[in-house]
Structure 1
Amino acid sequence: MRGASLETLRVHGLKSHDYHVWLERIMPIMIRGYVDEETWLVLAELSYFFRQLCAKELDREVVKKLDKQAPELLCKLEMLLPPRFFNPMQHMILHLPQEALLGSTVHTRWQYGPERENKKLRDQCGNKCKIEASIDEATLNKEVSNFTTKYYDEKIPTQHNQILRYNAANPDDVPKLGIFIGLGGTSRGMKRRKITNPEWGLIHSYVLKSMVEVKPYVEQFTQKYWKLRRDPTEQEENDLFVNGGGYGFINWFSTLAKIDPEMKPELKKIAQGFTSPVNAYDAYDVNRYRFHTHEYTQHRANRKTTNSGVLCEGSDGLHYYGRVEGIYELNYGFGKGLNPVVFKCHWFDPHRVKRKPEIGWVEVERSSIYARDDVYILATQAFQVFYLPYPCKNPKKRLQGWDV
């Protein structure tokens, strides 16, 4: 960490943005276990206050709640800290929510943007003896190039016609199916991997269950082979999906696709299943995140980021936390750039998760394991998370084995 001194046990030399990251994300984890729980809850509440206030998007109702919360939070701090700690800067907490209501998001009023722009202008200065003229000439050249590139041919990549980072397929060629919405792009380490049963069946079953277009056929299959008067339970639905009619939904749907003239051609390709082997990757870009497999992350030398944490909301309403173990591109015969991607994940037990919504806190037991075999999700369903362990090693605090 920048500015950390192990000799003096102090952190110094940070920039204002560094302090924001420390206050909003790191400080509550760093001090828990070293102060009493009541003090920690107040400081964690302060951290969450600034995290909500400095978000990229603001909800007016949330900001109004922060406005009511600010005086109470300041009183709690005054009960914990000595009077000489407080000066006009600490009391600014009272006015920050009102400023956000009047002036919109905080980051649009920060000085980081103008400071970065000033740095760009200084970098454009080639002649230190004529600073203003040098910057003016560089800016003029930039504006001329910006104007003229607007009239380049569409096939020539420019800043107005950039090469797509993600799926580069022609939008007219993309099938109108739910699994193709938000396709991302592979970025590193392609290998061929053979998928055999039962793994092939688990992956294909999840793809079919995730498609809105397939649900009418699942209902038709259930009505045909469910003989009891009551509705099936979740476990009975899964058993029926796998073994209904003696051969299961996958085989029934594949056979139906060959004889049903009304079924869409795209669905018929999906019904036949994906080919094996598949392309396996170490990295994949989707939903504005870059995901890495856990194995690749662990073997990266001098890594500065960890991109294998994943979050997905289940059909049961629970939030599942885990890490990416494999990235597989499935070939259903739609052509290059139109292959859906699934993540094979190591999921933590969703019932071994602690939540404190009043401070935006989620704790996951690192050693817990999700016991079922449905460990696959579509890449477009994934959200990225980062796990941070507690530094406190005191066994009496019972923090070891839990990540935030």
Structure 2
Amino acid sequence: MWTINDFPAYGSLSGWSTKGYLACPNCNIDASSQSLRSKIGYMGARRYLPENHNWHRSKLFNGEIENRSKPVELSGEQILQQINLGTIDGKNKDTDKARLDLEDMQIRKELHLIRHANGSFQKPPALYTLSPAEQIGFYDFLQSVKYPDGYAANVSNCVTAKGGKLVGLKSHDCHLCSKTLRVTDLEKLQEQIILILCKLEKIFPPAFFDVMVHLAIHLPYEARLGGPVQYRWMYPIERMLSLLKGFVGNKARPEGSIAEAYISKECTSMNQLQNENSPKATDEMWSLANGPNALTNTCLGCICNGVQFHTIDRDNRRKCQNSGLVVKGDHEDQLIKFYGYLCKVWELTYLFGHRVVLFQCEWYNTGSSRTLRVEPHVTTVDIRSRWYKDDSFVFPSQVQHVFNVPDTKLRPNWRVVEKFQHRRIWDVPELDMPEFDEVLQDDENSTIVPTEPIDDVVVLRRDDIVPQIISMEVSQSNKRVQPEGVMDDAFICDDDDELTISGDDEEDEMENDFDTDTDLEF
């Protein structure tokens, strides 16, 4: 699954069918799949827990005790033998059939459909059901979120203004990628993803757990084998193809236009590199002694050490957020963090082509507990007041890139400040031979939020929401099948699933946001 292709293409290239009861290539013929009323479910995350874990004996998951061990990893010879022999044959997940699955499995009786005398059914609201006011607040929050460039997709475009649903949300919209990975962190993730899925199996219906949810168990193991995914996926190639396509000026001769524009771009880059090869000791000292040029340039953006910064004015016109920053400084003989945003980028030019870039910023007043709240894993800032207005200039090398999202618990003027590990995608060096020993390691420790324990007694039903009444008769005929193998007709296709929370299943077209402004790079 960790290739430059998506999961369906993985099945086409590898020869393993990624559909049906054995869709997981890692579990192979020992997959934990079962037939449901509307699809194939992949529960059974308890198999990956330690053998002495008490959840193996619990019946709160699927009404049965789990005695199976985790699937055995196949060797290369076994995989080749299978290839030679031939391959083995957003919607709302809380559907009416999902509730009937609970009744068939005789679990979570408080969520079963309640039959009325007139033939209709009452659907009790589950723990994860949102009220209309909560749905509106959730969509308003998604529409207000802005992420930095290259950090995540523009989720606000996936929220419809009317109808209350998410459309067009694809798997690559959820990618939060790191440039490096630590093996110790991946080992912790391997342990915690199993516990997380087990907790979800106690709350959500079995229809929620399709093969894509199940694959999360194998991702840490695949990451240890292959390293960071961005070195193997398709997106850089697609971006390069988009750049070459933009070079086409004559549609009758596209190859000539691409070749000519590419050569011109390479010549310009070469001239720039030659101008920067002057002796540093003499030229820099002499240029600084003469002072900067009286004509100063101001820019709306800057790229420093592979991190892209934008001014607040530019961010207000775009869907991404790249103006937030934090810097450490002295305040009353104490080293604190100053949170703020970028207002303007100043470029001071000197002799011999030397230049110095300064950031002019505004700082939020974080000097008291009334304007700054620090909690475990969360830092919240009041954005109404400012301070240190006379000390607004910093060097780009002194700041760290952050972004903020609205705090849903406090007043609208509070923002949750989020730090993230920079991918530094804007100046990735080109190496003739990759150094594999350094790909999976990082000098900085990343923080993994620990998984909190969950009680065995879970309240699965909400009494503060009006239950849904289903007017039409729901079919009760369904025979649950536990396959021992794969037959030619034992196949359920669930390709048409899409993520929604409520409303119709229509999809709205998304408008792409293109920004052609150029940034200052140094």
Structure with the larger RCO, 1 or 2 (CA within 8 Å, 6+ apart): 2
Question: Which is helix-richer, 1 or 2?
Answer: 1
